[in-house]
Each structure stands twice: as C-alpha cells, then as structure tokens.
C-alpha cells in the first residue's frame, strides 16, 4: 500500500507560558533521515524518461541507477520511456528504452497512479520552449488531469535536471516542478560550486555545504524563491555563463496542492548517477515526496504559512485579533530570517506555534501550529549549520 497516505505528524504541545520561557536549545530537533543504508519504506515508483525533443544521455543512466537502488532497498520501478519518431534539430526520434518501458501510458487516471509512491520525471524534454499551444506536450490533457488528481490526493513528484524543460505550455506543471521557473539556457559544461541552503532537510543531510561539481548548469526564466523552499544555490562567481546573479537556486522542494515535489537541476553528466552522495540525495528526495522521510522544515515556505493565516476566519473581533497577533509575530520572525539571524527567528516562532494552537480553533489551528513548527525546524537547522 502506498506510503504517501501518511498519518499526520504528531505534535506534543506545551503550554504557551512554558514555551515562552524556553531557549532555542530546547526546540525539538528535526526528524533524522535514515540513509539509503537504512530502511526504505517505498513500494513502487514511476520513472518518466519519454522525450519529444532533445534526449539527454543520462536518462538511461538515471533509470538504471534508480532500478538498482530499488533492487537494493526493496521497491519496484516502472518505466515509461517509449521509442517515438519525434525528430527535429536534435536528430531522429527518441530511441526510448524499449526493453524497460511500459506498453502504454501510465497516466490514465489518478486512481491508476495511486500505486506509485512518487513519480520521477527524468529530463523528459518535449520541445515546447516556443510556447506554441499546438506543439505536442509530454502529457496530453487527459494525462495531465490524471497527474493533477494524483498530486491533489497527496502524490509525490520529483524533477531531475531538464524536468523544467518540458510542458512549457502548462502553467500548472511549471508550478509543480519549478515554482514557475522554466529552463532558459545553459553555458558549456564546467566546474561550479553548489551551496546548501537548507541543511536540515533530509535530502541535504550528508551533502557538503559547499560542493564543487562538474555539470551542465541551467539558467531559469525566473527565480522561484518565495514559491519554493530552496535547498541549494549555484555560486555564479565559480563558473562562467550564469545569468541569475547572486541568488541562483538550483535545487528546491515544495508542498504543492496537497502533494509534495522535489527538484534537482544538476545531474546532466552521466557520472552523477554513480556518485554515492548525489544518489543518496536523490533517493532521499524521492522518499521525502513519498512521505517516507520528514523533518528539517518539510520544505515549508513563509508564503505557505502566510496563506494559512490569510484563510483564517475573521468574522469576530476575537478572530481578527488572533490574526493580527500571528501576522505581527510571523513578520518579525521572517524579518529576522531575512536579516541572517535564524536563531532569533526560531526563538520568535516557537511560542508563535503554541499561540496559533491556542488562538485558532479546530483543525486550522492544528495545521498552522504544525507549519510554524516546520519553520522552527528550518531556522534551527540554519542556525546549527552557521548559515
């Protein structure tokens, strides 16, 4: 049975008075992530390598790496990568992986996709960069509807490398994978430094805070920060051809319309898929989208929490006062975070979580408390790492 229909995270609430007196050291640590050497509670994932445009050589390498990990850790892998005649400037049609691919599309209904703990889109370029709505997409309308239903039911989605270079004419898919960011271009392959921004997230544990790698480094049509939880950035001072400036996200994740998505923009070079650190991070990203790993802030964003506050009832004076209190505290916490003081931010947030539960009735209060607790874990992880 799919692990993505997970039980809600349990929170042990202290009283508001007691919490106000606690220091940062008493804040619960983020849930630890078992590495691939530990128990992996996945049943089945789907790898999508189908291309209607330029075909990356790493698709085959990635597919086999994920199959090997499945053999090692006891989960099954279905592959959708059929041959086709979609030729163009890049050459003849895609050879696909005929020895592995499913006979027909798995994107039939949300119920059919229910069997997958996560769906991994591996550079499935479809040549829709020109934004021509008549250009065939990776997923047609019916297939996209099935994917939407799957995500809304809590499904997990992972994007690898050129997953931002497909479905350009679907704003929903672009939001799901990239928080609105699409592939814009890239310089020649070269060495650059990736910097971890969210070290407490399970997929970043074990990844060097400064990681020098050889790869193909993508520029994007916009900076998705704010809509996504940035996991890693590129230091453009360490290579040539970056166009996004000092803030160049390259890996991110988000809670999206009931589901979870995780994206890694590196991985073009085949050698990535025999690199234990890279593979560990990708597997943990898959596991996070499936609900098999939690912690480290769970890819929360300030806008996500603000959205929950905006949805709170305001019919009574009590309700309006509660919203004002929470908005002021969250604004102070975000200002501290933006100023580079995650410790102060976490100290403001922890009693704010308890206040949310005390001031907001019912499930809305519980959900808001949980999300603010995620903000605490995120900021505490930054403080611990000295970021």
Least confident of 96-100, 259-263, 360-364: 360-364
Residue 116 has pLDDT above 50, yes or no: yes
Confidence of residue 38 (pLDDT cuts 50, 70, 90): low
Q: What is the tens place of the pLDDT at every residue in 204-219?
A: 999 999 999 999 999 9
Q: Is 294 helix (H, G, I), strand (E, B) or coil?
A: coil
Let me know: does 352 contact 333? Beta carbons within 8 Å: yes
- Contact by Cβ (8 Å): 120, 46: yes
Tell me which of 31-40, 171-180, 298-307, 323-332 is least confident: 31-40
The dihedral region occupied by 51, where left means phi > 0, alpha psi between -120 and 50, and beta the remainder, is beta
- Check residue 361 and give its pLDDT: 87
Residue 324 pLDDT greater than 90, yes or no: yes
Interval 330-346: pLDDT, tens? 999 999 999 999 999 99
Residue 144 has pLDDT above 90, yes or no: yes
Looking at the predicted structure, is the pLDDT value of residue 188 above 50? Answer: yes
Q: Average of pLDDT values for 365-369?
A: 96
At residue 179's C-alpha, the angle toward residues 28 and 200, to 5°, is: 20
Q: How many CB atoms lie within 10 A of CB 254?
A: 26
- Confidence band (pLDDT; 50, 70, 90) for 130? very high
pLDDT at 39 (0 to 100)? 83
Write the DSSP assignment of 327-386 as a string of letters.
HHHHHHHHHHHHTT-HHHHHHHHHHHHHHHHHHS-HHHHHHHHHHHHHHHHHHHHHHHHT
Query: What tokens does 130 get?
Result: 């020109």
Please enumerate in sequence order all residues whose Cβ is within 8 A of that of 207, keeping only pairs 6 or more positions apart, or say none.
Answer: 196, 199, 232, 277, 281
């Amino acid at each position: 049975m799919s692990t993505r229909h997970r039980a809600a995270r349990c929170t042990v609430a202290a009283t508001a008075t007691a919490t106000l007196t606690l220091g940062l050291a008493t804040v619960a640590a983020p849930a630890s992530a078992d590495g691939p050497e530990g128990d992996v509670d996945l049943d089945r994932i789907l790898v999508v390598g189908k291309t209607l445009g330029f075909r990356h050589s790493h698709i085959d390498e990635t597919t086999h790496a994920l199959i090997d990990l499945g053999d090692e850790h006891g989960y099954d892998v279905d592959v959708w990568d059929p041959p086709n005649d979609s030729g163009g400037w890049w050459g003849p049609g895609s050879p696909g992986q005929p020895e592995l691919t499913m006979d027909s599309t798995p994107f039939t209904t949300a119920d059919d996709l229910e069997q997958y703990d996560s769906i991994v889109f591996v550079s499935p370029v479809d040549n829709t960069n020109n934004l021509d709505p008549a250009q065939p997409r990776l997923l047609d309308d019916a297939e996209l509807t099935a994917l939407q239903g799957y995500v809304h039911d809590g499904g997990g989605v992972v994007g690898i490398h050129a997953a931002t270079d497909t479905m350009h004419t679907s704003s929903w898919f672009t939001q799901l994978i990239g928080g609105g960011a699409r592939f814009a271009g890239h310089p020649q392959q070269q060495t650059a430094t990736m910097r971890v921004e969210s070290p407490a997230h399970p997929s970043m544990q074990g990844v060097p805070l400064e990681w020098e790698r050889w790869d193909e480094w993508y520029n994007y049509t916009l900076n998705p920060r704010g809509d996504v939880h940035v996991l890693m950035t590129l230091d453009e001072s360490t290579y040539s051809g970056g166009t996004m400036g000092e803030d160049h996200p390259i890996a991110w994740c988000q809670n999206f319309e009931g589901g979870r998505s995780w994206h890694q923009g590196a991985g073009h070079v085949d050698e990535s898929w025999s690199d234990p650190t890279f593979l560990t991070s990708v597997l943990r990203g898959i596991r996070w989208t499936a609900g098999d790993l939690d912690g480290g802030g769970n890819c929360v964003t300030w806008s996500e929490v603000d959205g929950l506050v905006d949805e709170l009832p305001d019919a009574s004076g009590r309700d309006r006062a509660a919203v004002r209190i929470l908005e002021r505290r969250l604004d102070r916490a975000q200002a501290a975070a933006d100023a580079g003081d995650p410790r102060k931010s976490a100290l403001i947030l922890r009693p704010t979580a308890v206040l949310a539960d005390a001031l907001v009735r019912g499930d809305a209060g519980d959900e808001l408390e949980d999300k603010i607790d995620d903000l605490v874990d995120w900021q505490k992880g930054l403080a611990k790492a000295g970021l």
